[in-house]
Amino acid sequence: MNDASIRIALFGESDVGKSHYGGQLLSRIETESCELKMRVTPADLTPFDEVRTQLNDGLPASHTPSSVYRESIWQVVTEHGQQLDLTWPDYGGEQVRQLIDTRRMGPEWWDRIQSADGWILMVRPKLAKQDADIFSRPLGDVRRPNTDADIKPHRSSQARLVELLQMLLHSYQTRGPGCPPVLTVLLSCWDELELAEGIKPSEELASRLPLLWSFINNRWGSDRSAVFGLSALGTALSTDKANEEFRNRGPEHFGYVVSAEGQRTSDLTLPIVRIAEMIRHR
Amino acid sequence: MSKKCPFPDCYAPEMSCSNGEAKLEECAHWKSTTETTQSSDEHQVKNETNDEFLFPWTGNAMGAVDLNFLAGTGSTRLLMMAGAADAGKTSLLAAFYLLIARGISPEGVSFAGSLTLEGWENIASSLRWSMKDGPSFPAHTSSGAGRRPGLLHLSLRTPTKMCELLAADAPGEWFSAWASNQQAQQAEGARWLAACSDVLLVIADSYALSGPARGPARKALIDLFRRIGSELNGRPVALVWTKCDVAVPEEITNTIRDAAARSLQNYLEFHVSMHPTPQAESQNHGQGIVELLQWILAVSTSGYYFSPIDAPERAMLSTFGAFT
């Protein structure tokens, strides 16, 4: 495959870092500090304009409005000369939450699912942590007063994410038999997990969200799915105090991806390159 | 929205079209309703459902009608858990789910999906530390107005095949009524389960059998053995002692074992509890629960014929297999 278009369908609820990743991805590709290089300057940079302006000012991007859905087309080339037209979306995460909660899929989402070559599921592990239960915390503690102030009643995140993938699979299969698009899981805001270097993202997913990991393994298998750690910014930005290093050096110098083997690399396009490989071997 | 599809056993617009149409407006049955409605109502219905894609499962416990969706390829295993109210049936189901959700499952068994995640979450939430007061046991399963049990589903990859496990979260009152009178009106759900199930568990509540009402509890359990024994027809059955951290007087245990041997003949015995044994506290998986699940999934269920007259839904699954 020398020339191909790769359309990405990105799924993630609010606050998982979709816009930050999109903005940083574009900056990396533009500055040619990664495996993918831009062939043609994108005609329209507006979808990520605001995000990139904020990041260059050392501030986090504001929340993407829930009604927004916009796509960018980036014409890139890999190190091996493979030409790709990458379609990358940005939208308000409420749309995914609404899909899960209402169990109704609008025609535009149905089309996106059908036409995508690769699906990316963005999960922020810190927001998706499991509650302790009767097995993880001994029953002898039942009568003990609960001192965890942050514990609130809620459904388990991993069950929601499995349900989302089941809905995506089902809607995809309505068009007929065939393998679903390759799946990449990005464990976002990896830096806030404060993990030692060398930890494999797939092992982290398996230990934090076993139900989701097992589901993906059984439905996609290891040759059609991949798990990466992602820290799009490398650190948390504050709305109160601008990060001077981001202002001075530029946000394109920050952020990293954790490869399947657990190695950190500043090349944020690594997941896209892996998606292109998996699609080629389909 | 108040409008519903008039087609029997179709639950559109809550669920997708049972006629197989991807869009509701393409279904003749759905159209026949919308076309006869008042204009304002029609406008609302069309706006809300026109192009939306709906799903054939709700995530909640399934009814017998929903089993149609499971018909496809693969194998189903319907589990009946018969026991008195408050014997721990729902807690045991919740424990299966919580352990699998923690990545703890029998060797070679892994989670591959569920059409009833919402239903599992509902029964499991009370065993979680997500509430201010910490875990409690699930609330009583209401016998309510339902005539068939809610079925909870798990797709599990086992060492030999994909298994679609369906477990009934049925109220204890159904089994009490059924044990006393096979034809009792309140026992329809128990009769359906007895006709449809592949694997049967009889639940012995260690707490009740050691408490002040142990005499009536023993009598009720022995009645249940007889009823199940008469309808077993060679299907695999196990006697499951729940809350096994509570010691049951030896005389009662012996009487129950004698009665089980008379009525059930070939049966296995399991002892389960949410409490780990003192030596296994660090493993965080209670007692006996993983072993019981392993047996449920591995035991041979071949050789039993489901009559299409007594159990049409089950016969359909036997014929067509299960969706995977």
Structural domain tally of chain B?
2
Token couple for A47: 């979808």
Q: What is the pLDDT of residue B318?
A: 54
Specify if A156 maps to a domain. yes
* Confidence tier at A138 by pLDDT (50, 70, 90): low
Residues in chain B within 8 Å Cβ distance of A109: 53
Say whether pLDDT at A2 is over 60: no
Nearest to A264 by CA among A211, A193, A161, A209: A193
Asked whether B167 and A172 are in contact (CB, 8 A), the reply is no
Is A147 in CB contact (< 8 Å) with chain B? no
Q: Max CA-CA distance within chain B?
A: 73
User: Which of residues B36, B56, B76 is at a domain's end?
Assistant: B56
Is residue A53 in a domain?
A: yes
- The predicted model scores a pTM of 0.87
Contact B52 A206 (CB under 8 A): no
Summarised one tens digit per residue, pLDDT across range B176-221 is 999 999 999 889 889 989 988 999 999 999 999 999 999 999 999 9
Structural domain including B301 reads 64-320
Q: Has residue A40 been placed in a domain?
A: yes
Residue B318 CB contacts under 8 Å (≥ 6 apart), including other chains: B306
Query: Domain check: are B227 and B270 in the same one?
Result: yes
Whether B8 and B74 map to the same domain: the answer is: no
Chain A residue numbers with beta carbons less than 8 Å from the beta carbon of B129 are 131-133, 137, 146, 148, 151
A255-A258-A263-A267 Cα dihedral, nearest 10 degrees: -50
Q: Report, as ranges of residue numbers, the positions in chain B whose pLDDT lies below 70.
A: 1-2, 34-50, 65, 68-74, 129-148, 281-283, 303-324
| Among B126, B180, B107, B121, CA closest to B154 | B121
ipTM: 0.89
Query: Looking at beta carbons, which residues of chain A come within 8 Å of B100?
Result: 210-211, 214
Strand partners, B152: B167
What is the structure's pLDDT at B300? 87
The shortest C-alpha distance from A217 to chain B (Å) reads 8
Same domain, B40 and B115: no
Mean per-residue pLDDT, A198-205: 96
DSSP state for residue B199 in the 8-state scheme:
E
How does residue A50 score in pLDDT terms, banded at 50, 70 and 90? very high
Rounded Cα–Cα distance for residues B134 and A26 (Å) = 46
The residues facing A90 across adjacent strands are A70
Of B10, B30, B56, which one is at a domain's C-terminal end? B56
Residues A1-7 have a mean pLDDT of 68
Q: Which of residues 38-57 of B touch A (CB under 8 A)?
A: 51-56
Residues of A with Cβ-Cβ distance to B54 under 8 angstroms: 103-105
Q: Is the Cβ of B95 closer than 8 Å to some Cβ of chain A? A: yes
Residues B218 and B202 in one domain: yes
- Closest chain B C-alpha to A37 CA, distance in angstroms: 38
At residue B207, the pLDDT reads 94
Residue type, B98: L
Lowest mean pLDDT among A41-55, A223-237, B217-231: A41-55
Closest partner CB to B130 (pick from A110, A144, A153): A153
Domain of A14, CATH number, reads: 3.40.50.300
Query: How many percent of chain A have pLDDT more than 90?
Result: 57
Q: B152 and B20 in one domain? A: no
Contacts of A142 in chain B (CB under 8 A): 134-136
Residue A145 in any domain: the answer is no
Q: How far is A60 from chain B (nearest CA, A)?
A: 31
Residues B311 and B179 in one domain: yes
Buried b (16+ CB within 10 A) or exposed e, A10-27: bbbbbebbbbbbbbbbbb
Both B87 and B46 in one domain: the answer is: no
What would the two tokens of residue B269 be?
Answer: 């015995």
Phi, psi dihedrals of residue B293, rounded to the nearest 5°: -65, -40
Residue A134: list chain B partners with CB under 8 A.
95, 98, 127-128, 135, 274, 286
Q: Last residue of some domain: B56, B73, B90?
A: B56
Q: What is the total count of domains within chain A?
A: 1
How distant is the alpha carbon of residue B230 from its chain centre?
A: 22
Of B56, B58, B284, the CB nearest to A136: B284
Residue type, B74: G
Q: Which residues of chain B make contact with A148, given a CB cutoff of 8 A?
A: 129
Cβ neighbour number for residue A222 with a 10 Å cutoff: 11
Domain span at A44:
3-137+150-280
| Closest chain A residue by Cα to residue B53 | A105
Two tokens at B73? 């390829």
C-alpha separations of A221 from A12, A218, A278, B21, B164 in Å: 21, 6, 12, 30, 19
Of B212, B266, B218, nearest to B241 by C-alpha is: B218
Identify the weakest region by mean pLDDT among A168-172, A232-236, B170-174, B278-282: B278-282
Residue A126 inside a domain? The answer is yes
CA dihedral B55, B59, B65, B69 (to 10 degrees): 50
Distance between B110 CA and the closest CA of chain A, angstroms: 6
CA distances from A281 to A125, A185, A223 (A): 30, 19, 9
- Residue A170 domain-assigned (yes or no): yes
Residues B240 and B316 occupy one common structural domain: yes
Please report whether residue A142 resides in a domain: no
In a domain, residue A71? The reply is yes
Tell me the residue ranges of DSSP E strands in chain B.
53-54, 75-82, 110-113, 150-157, 162-169, 199-205, 237-242, 268-271
Distances (CA, A) of B111 to A150, B66, B248: 29, 21, 35
Is there a single domain that holds both residue B154 and residue B28? no
Check A131 against B56: CB less than 8 A apart.
no
Q: Are residues B217 and B89 in the same domain?
A: yes
pLDDT of the residue at B315: 60
Written as six digits, the tokens of A105 are: 């899929």
Q: What is the pLDDT of residue B79?
A: 95
Dihedral sign for Cα atoms in the order B101, B171, B225, B206? positive
User: Cα distance from B46 to chain A (closest Cα, Å)?
Assistant: 13
Co-location of B45 and B75 in the same domain:
no
When mean pLDDT is compared across A229-238, A264-273, B7-16, the lowest value belongs to: B7-16
CB pairs under 8 A between A and B: 132
| Kind plus residue range of the DSSP H or E element containing B190 | helix B188-196
Cα distance from A267 to chain B (closest Cα, Å)? 32
B205 and B97: one domain? Answer: yes
